[in-house]
Homo-oligomer: A and B are copies of this chain.
Amino acid sequence: MSQHRHPGAPGRAGAVPTLPDLPEATVARLPEYLRALHNLADSGHETVSSEGLANAAGVNSAKLRKDLSHLGSYGTRGVGYDVALLIEQIESVLGLTQCRSVALVGVGNLGHALAGYDGFATRGFRIAALFDADPARVGEEINGLVVRHVDELSRVAAEQLISIGVIATPARAAQAVADQLVAVGVTSILNFAPCVLSVPEGVDVRKVDLAIELQILSFHEHRKASLTALPGTAGSALTALPGGLAATDTQEAIGT
């Protein structure tokens, strides 16, 4: 995760036109709200209540209101939130008003899929360049982009501003790639390699490890299995457990 520092605490000066350092948990949920809002806009909704948006995003309505309150009062009491306005605001806060360029390093199994994933383009990201260290892969064309050798990274980065670097290499190559990315000025990295990256301060790294997700699920499976083996209530003993049961961030079943 990213670590940042609190700069000196300056007193609040008047209104809030700039970014009032959002809580990290809120930032992590804003993209989910944004996706839900786009869905609502597509289906013709012009306004939405906190309850409605919270349901669509899979969170508690109080949490949603608090999250949104952090970026200002863009709702209307008694009515709800204007969908278009809220989209605009969240995109502004997330810095999505500009299309950001992504450099993808490692065009193996996973990288190949990422290069072809249209979920990036549809949400304001453009894959600007593909790299790989394997000469056999250099020159291959994926989705209209030619794979270049990773050593060309600095040259390519000089041509176009790279906003985010994505690492989809094997673990043993990830740190070297990260170093190269940092060297060309990339300060945000999304790491799919199963390893810890060491980066200088000011560089944000987010990690996605598919196996870890499975292992976390495995734990819950294991726990549930050992609970059913316990005495007494067979069947769905789960529903009888106290509220603290699944403390994961999994969404609850949305009541109808």
Interface residues of chain A, those whose CB is within 8 Å of chain B, are 2, 13, 15-19, 21-24, 27-28, 30-32, 34-36, 38-39, 41-42, 56-58, 87-88, 91-100, 102, 109-110, 112-114, 116-120, 122-125, 163-164, 187-190, 194-202, 204-226, 229-230, 234-239, 241-242, 244-254
Contacts and interface: CB of A to CB of B under 8 A. Distances in A.
Contacts of A41: 249
A221 B100 contact: yes
A100 B15 CA distance: 52
Given A221-B164, A251-B197, A124 B246 contact: yes
7 closest A-B pairs by beta carbon, nearest first, are: A95-B222, A113-B113, A58-B196, A202-B238, A38-B250, A31-B215, A188-B217
B218 A95 contact: yes
B18 A211 contact: no
Contacts of A123: 211, 214-215, 248, 250
Given A35-B195, A114-B210, A124-B215, 4 more contacts: A2-B220, A18-B230, A122-B248, A122-B250
A217 B200 contact: no
A13 B232 CA distance: 13
A114 to B, nearest CB: 7
Nearest to A236: B202
A141 to B, nearest CB: 16
Contact of A221 (B27, B99, B187, B235): B187
Contacts of A249: 38, 41-42, 122
Contacts of A254: 196, 198
A120 B210 contact: yes
30 contacts: A17-B238, A18-B238, A27-B216, A31-B212, A35-B194, A36-B196, A38-B250, A56-B196, A88-B239, A93-B222, A94-B218, A99-B246, A100-B218, A109-B116, A109-B117, A109-B118, A119-B194, A120-B214, A122-B248, A122-B250, A123-B250, A124-B248, A164-B214, A164-B217, A190-B214, A201-B239, A204-B221, A204-B248, A204-B250, A206-B216
A24 B88 CA distance: 34
A52 to B, nearest CB: 13
